[in-house]
Structure 1
């Protein structure tokens, strides 16, 4: 039986013919993601609204283990906006889940308490392991992992989750404190990145994820699935280059051409933040982190000799949706 997501808040909505409408909020380090979904008693869930808002909760304090005053206020403001949006729908329950930035901050509890006090939302701060489980559940709804084992990679702002599994089971999972916001804050980087910067970043990442490489080699992984976030931005940019943007909208998966991705990686390495503003498909709040994500992805592809890379546009919040639908 599926686990019930650990947090819920009753609202004013009511079930009609077994139909229930819920709101799921993923409080990430870079973005807060809202999903409003109808859960019919027998049919698959129906997504009726989704959006994301850049909050940059980790900016100015993530490696010191704190949420800065400005980030604290941005987070409260975003949740206030989401509460107003949720009120437009007949939502029965709200499931707000917090991840790396809040779970690792010494004032994360203060943020949770303030949200409960001012917005009457009870946030559940989930572990890295639980985050990985929900990401896996979300990915399975977006695409068919099949019987062969793949490596799932979810690059967040505060952490990166790796999961080895197929459509039926997880073999191994781990959350690493290697989000792009955390890495950006840790290193003094030039703009554009120097060759020394790139080498330092690759060496650092190699050291930090040795355990993942060992497990992936043990299970002979050569297929990678990138979950949402930075992978989605890379897919958007590629589709703009290919003039296929319309064919991409609404899809839950995307097949990467590895040669084209490598070419884009080289261009990103040479680019400055201001130059990246001209890249179609790249949202402003990823201008400073997309290169770090690209270095991370390129390293994994290279070291594991990945031959197949797919994007799943579903992630944690859709994983919660999937678990709720099974109840």
Structure 2
């Protein structure tokens, strides 16, 4: 009988639940849902989960617990990242979830998070012998992994996620040019370790891990009149100019325009601006012209270990 396992990725903006069974290279998804919990809303840069977000998080975990019970998962892992890592009441949240559901949440360090993201992206088959730079833009943190299909050369997590940047720089909509310049300077100051690590590396491709990159791909293909179904692909290769044109359009847009676009899910309506700015900054600063998206991320990396 094949093993059935459940993985939860508890991020700053969204909580994900993946229940799957089978072999790691041929598994079947039983449940795959994403809930817009917005755990970092109102308190991400203050290091505190506000009561409304706390309640949303606990309610979502109760819902996940019911789905896990209903689907008879034999092993369960709940992985928490930046928001719970940095929140002063993060452990209160963990205790409350365990009391109400029995689920024990693991808070992982940024280095572990980057390692799981690598394993998830590797599983998709997108990596080859050439060097790629994986970038995972979360709400609380951004992970960078310099790697190829065989090994990780360097990895690091930076607390510069889209929710943090939104709170700090995107207070007027559309985002003013002065705020964009301030955000770019902030990235220059905070990503020095990335610049050192990549200084002498030949990087063939930037790979955006799920999240905003899925939205970018969907918007580009929909605008062309193509049918785009994320469930049917594991990766997507961008045309550089199409991606830059789209990101510039997003950066210049206002909240109402983004909210009216059916291709942008509610939780990303504002975060997508910061994600676009980070993406554009990395492309330009590191001079990378080949850009791809991979639908796999942290949860698939955790799943790989559980099904192995």
**TM-score, length of structure 2 as denominator length:** 0.96
1:135-187 Cα distance to aligned partner (Å, 9 max, x none): 00000112331011110000000000000000110000000001111111223
Quick one: distance in 2 between partners of 1:199 and 1:245? 36
Quick one: distance in 2 between partners of 1:25 and 1:249? 18
Q: CA deviation at 1:189?
A: 2.5
1:85-135 Cα distance to aligned partner (Å, 9 max, x none): 222212112111100000111111111111111111011111100000000
State the match for 2:298 in structure 1: 316
42-51 or 66-75, larger mean C-alpha shift: 42-51
- Is the Cα–Cα contact under 8 Å of residues 237 and 279 in structure 1 kept in the other structure? no
220-229 or 240-249, larger mean C-alpha shift: 240-249
Could you say if the C-alpha distance between residues 69 and 247 of structure 1 is closer, same or farther in structure 2, counting changes exceeding 3 Å? Answer: closer
Is the counterpart of residue 109 in structure 1 residue 91 in structure 2?
yes
State the match for 1:152 in structure 2: 134
Question: Gaps spanning 5+ residues in structure 2: where?
Answer: none
Is the counterpart of residue 299 in structure 1 residue 297 in structure 2?
no
Q: After the TM superposition, which segments of 4 or more aligned residues of structure 1 sit over 3 Å from their partners?
A: 246-249
- Is the Cα–Cα contact under 8 Å of residues 240 and 280 in structure 1 kept in the other structure? no
State the match for 1:220 in structure 2: 202
> Cα RMSD between the aligned structures?
1.4
Residue among 26, 30, 35 paired with 2:18: 35
State the match for 1:61 in structure 2: 43
Quick one: distance in 2 between partners of 1:246 and 1:57? 29
SS of the residue 2:26 aligns to? coil
Is the counterpart of residue 165 in structure 1 residue 147 in structure 2?
yes
Is the counterpart of residue 21 in structure 1 residue 4 in structure 2?
yes
Is the counterpart of residue 52 in structure 1 residue 34 in structure 2?
yes
Quick one: distance in 2 between partners of 1:136 and 1:203? 28
Is the counterpart of residue 256 in structure 1 residue 210 in structure 2?
no
Quick one: distance in 2 between partners of 1:30 and 1:61? 12
Question: Gaps spanning 5+ residues in structure 1: where?
Answer: 1-15
Is the counterpart of residue 131 in structure 1 residue 113 in structure 2?
yes
State the match for 1:8 in structure 2: none
**Aligned counterparts, 1:90-109, within 5 A:** 90-109=72-91
- Is the Cα–Cα contact under 8 Å of residues 98 and 123 in structure 1 kept in the other structure? yes
- Is the Cα–Cα contact under 8 Å of residues 136 and 210 in structure 2 kept in the other structure? yes
**TM-score, length of structure 1 as denominator length:** 0.91
1:67-101 Cα distance to aligned partner (Å, 9 max, x none): 11111101001111111222221211211110000
Quick one: distance in 2 between partners of 1:71 and 1:131? 23
Q: CA deviation at 1:219?
A: 1.1
1:236-265 Cα distance to aligned partner (Å, 9 max, x none): 111211222246542010111110111111
Q: CA deviation at 1:37?
A: 0.6
- Is the Cα–Cα contact under 8 Å of residues 126 and 235 in structure 2 kept in the other structure? no
